[in-house]
Amino acid sequence: MKSETNHRDFVKEETLDPGDWTALRKLGNTMLNDMIDLLQTIREQPVWRKPPERVKNHFKKELPQLPMQLEEVYDEFKENILPYYLGNIHPRYWSWVMGTGSAQAMLAEMLAAGLNCNVGIGDQAPMYVDQQVIEWCKQIMHFPRESSGALVSSASIANLNALIVARNSVNDTIRRSGINEQKKMLIYASTEAHSCIQKAAEIIGIGTEGVRKVNVNDKYEMDIVHLQELIAKDKREGNVPFCVVANVGTVNTGAIDPLDKIFWICCKENLWMHVDGAFGALLKQLPEYKKQLGYLEFADSIAFDLHKWMSIPYEAGVVLVQDADVHRKTFALQPDYISNNERGIGAGPELTSNFGFELSRNFKALKVWMSLKEHGIEKFARLIRQNITQSKYLAMLIEQDSLLELMAPVSTNIVCFRFNPRKNHLDLNMLNKEILMRLQESGIAAPSYTRLKGNYCLRVANVNHRTELKDFDVLVNEVIKIGNQVIMEEEAKREPVNTA
């Protein structure tokens, strides 16, 4: 007899959707309000709180097997995550080069997460938004309309993308045969180039030794004479120089390499000119940097971030490539299952993976599109100028105070300085490190650090739209106060103990 069993009897179907949408709506509103409250009152919060042991241990639990109420999970977030953020949303955060984000773009992130689109393929509006944002990025950088680009996660990935294209432009066989048969291929970058350039060179088979380190001058800009000498020597020895990486805003001091000279050298030597403009490329918006950034639009490729100086929430990096065909030739690979159709969902614009390695991609274009629409590029330009003016103000405070020392010229938004009471016996490196640690641990302000010519420096990288001039008054006063305090403590330790 034929079984009467119905498959429906076996399956108790489930979904991740909430059982109670009204309750979710209420909790969602609470979450949104809590985040808006945080951002509205951020100035009243410490810049940073060290996560206590209790919190670190909280994140060493076993994999959850059974469900928990979302309200309870959110309570854990409020207790163990929310108070221990990095601090880059705070007005006195200037560590590394980290963007501040914005309350409005946070909402855009929520909308994008709601749609949860994969912006890699398909006849869907998000693909057109993605293309629109790339077009706007080209306009910002004065790149030609025919050039190509991709939104990626960061400047590190954007630099990697561009260096892969640069490498493949040398020879049509590289995609097929790798670089095994090539002579030694070389990249030139200044000693101030970001570490991601070296990592990219390692990943693409050029190796650390394939990155020639070009000297810098007193302003930390690439020494062009040294660049030419290195290229000439390498060519004489039968190697294959193929790319120069120019910095627009070095990570240590914000210096800008001489783009015009680098451009002409690249033309003469037939080299790919790549610009790492992680934060500095956005200076292209300011007429006062017109001369220095005049040749930016002639670079073969450029990498920059929108999550730094444009305050787009993490992550948002951009790569632009002058010659779209070369870019496409490097990455395009379309098996049947991801080929564009003439109709249906798959009939959309060219796959974004034709211009990069990633296939699945989130809708990061939405937060950029919404931010640019809401504020207009001119507002971003004004904020960038504001940060530069503030940085020059900080430099002035430092130069006016005999207890402080400016450690590098301030060409853009990065200020390197140290506490230096000019007393011979002091270990200034140790002293300044201690000042920085106390400053960060007190939650008052968060510069970071670097070493310039072996000297430990406090380093302020100002890409913060919430910073006000008065924040730098606070910083300078605190550095001096803590510096004097540390010296007093050291001297007290050295005084002989009275045993009488």
Ligand X SMILES: Cc1ncc(COP(=O)(O)O)c(C=O)c1O
CB-CB contact of 283 with 248 (8 Å): yes
Measured from the CB of residue 479, what is the shortest distance to ligand X in angstroms?
Answer: 23
The binder of ligand X chosen from 130, 221, 257, 276 (CB under 6 A): 276
Does position 161 bind ligand X by CB under 6 A? no
Beta-carbon neighbour count of residue 95 at 10 Å? 20
**H or E segment at 125?**
helix 125-141
Residues sharing a CB contact under 8 Å with residue 104, sequence separation 6 or more, in sequence order: 370, 371, 374
Q: Please name the residue that has the structure tokens 């689109």.
A: 117
Does position 154 bind ligand X by CB under 6 A? yes
Measured from the CB of residue 440, what is the shortest distance to ligand X in angstroms?
Answer: 18
The residue among 95 and 182 lying less far from ligand X, judged by its C-beta, is: 95
Question: What ranges make up the beta strands (E) of 286-361?
Answer: 301-305, 317-321
Does position 149 bind ligand X by CB under 6 A? no
Does position 196 bind ligand X by CB under 6 A? yes
The binder of ligand X chosen from 278, 282, 306, 482 (CB under 6 A): 278
The residue among 96 and 264 lying less far from ligand X, judged by its C-beta, is: 96
CB-CB contact of 284 with 296 (8 Å): yes
Find residue 321's DSSP bridge partners. 148, 301
Stretch near ligand X under the rule CB under 6 A, chosen from 39-47, 125-133, 213-221, 273-281: 273-281
Which strands sit side by side in the sheet containing 211-214, from one edge to the other?
A: 148-152, 317-321, 301-305, 272-276, 240-247, 185-190, 211-214
Does position 265 bind ligand X by CB under 6 A? no
Number of residues lying near ligand X (CB under 6 A): 14
Whether the link from the prior residue into 315 is cis, omega within 30° of 0, is: yes
Beta-carbon neighbour count of residue 379 at 10 Å? 13
The residue among 91 and 99 lying less far from ligand X, judged by its C-beta, is: 99
Contacts with ligand X, 359-398, as mask; x by CB under 6 A = ----------------------------------------
Which of 180, 184, 255 minimizes the C-alpha distance to 214?
255
The residue among 246 and 476 lying less far from ligand X, judged by its C-beta, is: 246
Measured from the CB of residue 250, what is the shortest distance to ligand X in angstroms?
Answer: 6
Measured from the CB of residue 195, what is the shortest distance to ligand X in angstroms?
Answer: 8
Q: Please name the residue that has the structure tokens 């951009």.
A: 318
**H or E segment at 450?**
strand 446-452
Measured from the CB of residue 461, what is the shortest distance to ligand X in angstroms?
Answer: 8
Which of 490, 431, 479, 437 minimizes the C-alpha distance to 456?
431
Stretch near ligand X under the rule CB under 6 A, chosen from 114-122, 272-280, 349-357, 450-458: 272-280
The residue among 42 and 197 lying less far from ligand X, judged by its C-beta, is: 197
Measured from the CB of residue 359, what is the shortest distance to ligand X in angstroms?
Answer: 20
Does position 317 bind ligand X by CB under 6 A? yes
- What is the residue-wise DSSP string for 158-211? HHHHHHHHHHHTT-TTHHHHTTTTS--EEEEEETTS-HHHHHHHHHTT--GGGE
Does position 313 bind ligand X by CB under 6 A? no
Measured from the CB of residue 85, what is the shortest distance to ligand X in angstroms?
Answer: 17
The binder of ligand X chosen from 42, 89, 97, 436 (CB under 6 A): 97
Beta-carbon neighbour count of residue 462 at 10 Å? 26
Stretch near ligand X under the rule CB under 6 A, chosen from 43-51, 226-234, 276-284, 358-366: 276-284
Does position 155 bind ligand X by CB under 6 A? yes
| CA–CA separation, 341 and 345 (whole Å) | 8
Measured from the CB of residue 196, what is the shortest distance to ligand X in angstroms?
Answer: 5
> Footprint of ligand X on this chain (CB under 6 A)?
96-97, 154-156, 194, 196, 249, 251, 276, 278-279, 305, 317
